[in-house]
Chain A
């Protein structure tokens, strides 16, 4: 088996299953519990001339959001390896640092994408009737994959910076809330005040959500045309930075 594949298989075996379950709690809660009363408050609305229910709107948004949550879990894989000495142990084995770094990014992406697939499966009934085209689905898939790269890399950069578990988890939780709520996951960009919208447009999750909605539901926005290229550039930059951050982890201090 390929070296990266062996490390990815190991990650799947050793990862904290509790964290995996937790990543589905919020999207499934929002989808199956909160969306019903919220739908009673939020009437079907029109985006770019297309009428859409709130449940359908957030069902697709939550697929993108789960990509983020799952991919962020990747950082905990690196942090746990460092905490339990396996980071160094693996690096004195038949693995280069770049192999290890790539495996962590792939593992995180895999978790994010599997999570997204699962939420998509649960969200399927809510999207019934949407006219999904093959190019649209491909664009949505590309957005989710790029998002997985961005958030995997981001979490790995974070995990390489922190030495304290408490600091890492605290930052992780704060980021999760900020990225989720300052994005277009739960509300359309057009409905928020301009100042908040500017912040939301700095958030890569907004791009993933918008692109996924555009691909799956045909819901366009004035920003979609540049969100794709920016997301691709961000993915490339964050991937490179994540590789570099793992390579720079000091091995001298222990």
Chain B
């Protein structure tokens, strides 16, 4: 059974469509990345899947329950970090955590224990007595993310959870997510930080203009849309410039430069062919090659290429 199964979900506002066609399946215990440029429909999709708004068309099942008719059955099993801020402004950090646990009917002892762990994991320990309204934006975001771990969600929706977080808090968040995923939590994540998605997600879908335009593992997306690869060659002895010049005349190579440290960088659409060509050229030119490394494109590059292909600018 899937944690989420959506078929042609759509949401209209007046004459405009925020989401026009979202179909996806999220396996239980997986981290699913939902990527897209600003205004693509990520947040609207999350708001539908978390039962905040009803879809205009299409169907979905969340944790086996029909989205349209079983909201009350779905919500006790999900955790949601919405994109917008939400906080108990008049309470201290520890009181806010406790209050949130109480809302979820977590027994007092359990929520006290969990609150201690979360204060520590999210770097909130030294701020525990401060009123939430006096915290910085980043600290409030930390608290907003942290409190979703005080209850036992099976499926966690995270709408750009690390916006405004410093690297330490981001690391804490990622650690907590990984730990919970290892115990069976399913995560539906939107983020603009694609390195985050690349390291965390089992699968990703890219939404653009309200429609899903690609879906797969991060590796599949990089392979399909990553474009040119970078091959780095460390020349031990001989003139690296000769190798760069030779490679510029090779099919599938779009660029080659020499660095001051003797490294030659070659951009190619055919890494394995180029790899062989470099070895052959090295032998022909009498160069001693120290190492040859093929750099993989990252998800960010693949994402940019994919969006540009659709006519977008992000």
- A binding-site residues for B, Cβ under 8 Å: 1, 6-7, 9-10, 13-14, 16, 80, 84-86, 88-96, 251-252, 254
Contacts and interface: CB of A to CB of B under 8 A. Distances in A.
A1 B99 CA distance: 13
A84 B47 contact: no
A10 B78 contact: no
Contacts of A13: 91, 95, 99
5 contacts: A84-B89, A85-B86, A86-B87, A90-B103, A94-B105
B27 interface: no
Nearest to A95: B75
A88 B86 contact: yes
A94 B86 contact: no
A85 B99 contact: no
B53 interface: yes
A91 B74 CA distance: 12
B103 A84 contact: no
Most chain B CB within a 10 A radius of its CB, from A92, A93, A96, A254? A92
B121 interface: no
B105 to A, nearest CB: 6
Contacts of B84: 85, 88, 254
A142 B104 CA distance: 34
B87 A92 contact: no
A10 to B, nearest CB: 6
Given A13-B91, A92-B50, A94-B75, A84 B99 contact: no
Contact of B52 (A1, A80, A88): A88
B90 A85 contact: no
Interface residues on B, range: 20 to 34
Given A14-B88, A84-B86, A92 B76 contact: no
Contacts of A89: 80, 82, 86
A9 B95 CA distance: 13
A52 B90 CA distance: 45
Contact of B51 (A92, A252, A254): A92
A14 B133 CA distance: 12
Contact of B90 (A6, A7, A16, A94): A16
B13 A92 contact: no
Most chain B CB within a 10 A radius of its CB, from A6, A10, A93, A252? A93
Given A14-B90, A88-B84, A251-B52, 13 more contacts: A10-B99, A13-B95, A84-B89, A85-B86, A86-B86, A89-B86, A92-B78, A92-B80, A92-B82, A93-B80, A94-B76, A94-B104, A95-B75
A6 B88 contact: no
B72 interface: yes
Contacts of B85: 84-85
Interface string B145-167: 00000000000010000000000
Given A1-B105, A6-B102, A89-B80, A96 B72 contact: yes
